[in-house]
Amino acid sequence: MKGWRKLALVSAASSAAFFALLWASTFGWNFLAPSYGGGPSRTSPEKLRETVSALAAGIGPRDLFNNNKARLGRAEEYLRGRFRAACCALEEQEFYAAGVKVRNFICTKKGFSSPGEIVLVGAHYDTFNNPGADDNASGVAGVLDLAEYASGRSYARTIKFAAFANEEPPFFRHEGMGSAVYAAAARKNGDDIRAALILEMTGYYSDRIFSQRYPPLIGPFLPPKGDFIAQISDFGSRAEARRIDRAFRAASGLPLRTVSLPAWVPGVDFSDHRSFWAQGYPAVMFTDTSFYRTPHYHRPSDLPETLDYGRMAALQDGLKAALDDLAGVSAGPGMGVKSASASPAVSPASSRPGPL
């Protein structure tokens, strides 16, 4: 009996040690990771704040449930006006979900020399019965800022700026998810989407040690502070992620962590990029890592004042460089060739769309 007792104690101690190490691995332990040093940005933090405030404070919860349908309609009107002001061709993709007509907004900037090749930038505009400043007014603000930036430029490839309905439960991974409707239609139409960039919760940051958590076993290699933006890809989108990473880092001081992981890792496919993966399109997600960092996830406290608009502006600087590189700044009618110095893009070579 003593032998069995000893074996049981050893087994219990080993199990406890294993789970303790597993728990510890959900924290970041790379204390040498660079921190954000601040500095001027080409993007206006105040304009990003205005967009987030208009959606999260001026409109509030926006979904099909909890008496929020009218506010969802107000969000649609807001998006319609902002996209039209960006001078791109606006399409509203209508479909039914839970017996209600909803819509994706697709704002197209047609490419000059390779119009059949598409770069898509998107974010969902619905919420989980909360103000949704970070989730996902921050992502929508980023998409609208990029659409306005692109309106004054000409690109080789076509760019589509998208605002998707119904990313939140009960539609996530189920019928009626807006991005899934769009991606399935794109595949059926034979659309040549070379890269999809999804902005999902991009505004919450923290300089506190151990403010950042991770899925098990990943933390030892990553920073302990939530002061960076993450770019998440699956293995099939690694080439696009690497290219975006290079352009982003050359234009922004905001620390970027690019990670390629299998979709089964918790959180890796938790947004609209999964809809493009499902259709065989390369896609990445830019995120502040959602519930791995922010304490306001899906709560009434997800308010505009909790976001860091300086870091959001630095993020936009990097995204503009990545967009210029992916879509290829081009000459169009009445426009000269855009030089690298006129853009956050990293080199003259980035003014031509390379193979994706």
The Cα–Cα gap between 65 and 62 comes to: 8
For residue 128, pLDDT beyond 80: yes
Which two tokens mark 271?
């947004």
The Cα–Cα gap between 188 and 132 comes to: 32
**Half-sphere CA count of 322, side-chain side, radius 13 A:** 28
DSSP 3-state assignment of 201?
A: coil
**pLDDT tens column, 321-356:** 999 999 998 644 434 434 333 333 333 333 334 444
pLDDT of residue 39: 86
pLDDT of residue 347: 34
DSSP 3-state assignment of 352?
A: coil
pLDDT of residue 6: 72
Beta strands in the chain (DSSP E): 89-97, 100-109, 114-124, 157-164, 192-200, 229-233, 256-260, 283-287
How many percent of the chain have pLDDT more than 70?
A: 91
Bridge-based pairing of strands 114-124 and 229-233 is unpaired
Indicate the residue type of 263: A
Q: C-alpha 222: how far from its chain's center?
A: 19
pLDDT band at residue 92, thresholds of 50, 70 and 90? Answer: very high
The Cα–Cα gap between 284 and 244 comes to: 9
Nearest Cα to Cα of residue 165 among 103, 107, 121: 103
Give the N- to C-terminal CA distance of the chain in Å, as an integer.
65
Q: In 226-247, which positions are buried (b, 16+ CB within 10 angstroms) versus exposed (e)? A: bbbbbbbbbeebeebbebbbbb
| Stronger pLDDT, 16 or 205, i.e. the higher one | 205
**pLDDT tens column, 148-177:** 999 989 999 999 999 999 999 999 999 999
Following DSSP, what letter does each residue of 255-306 receive, concatenated? -EEEEE--TTSTTTT-STHHHHHHTT--EEEEES-GGGT-TTTTSTT--GGG
Indicate the residue type of 34: P
- Residues 38, 208, 137, 168: is their CA dihedral positive or negative? positive
**pLDDT tens column, 257-316:** 999 998 888 888 889 999 999 999 999 999 999 999 999 999 999 999 999 999 999 999
Q: Rounded to two decimals, what is the model's pTM?
A: 0.89
CA distances for 21 relative to 17, 25, 220, 270, angstroms: 6, 6, 11, 25
Q: C-alpha 276: how far from its chain's center?
A: 13
Following DSSP, what letter does each residue of 97-147 receive, concatenated? ETTEEEEEEEEEE--SSEEEEEEEEEEE---SSS--IIIIIIHHHHHHHHH
The Cα–Cα gap between 207 and 21 comes to: 24
Out of 3.40.50.1950, 3.30.479.30, 3.40.50.360, 3.40.630.10, the CATH code matching 3-351 is 3.40.630.10
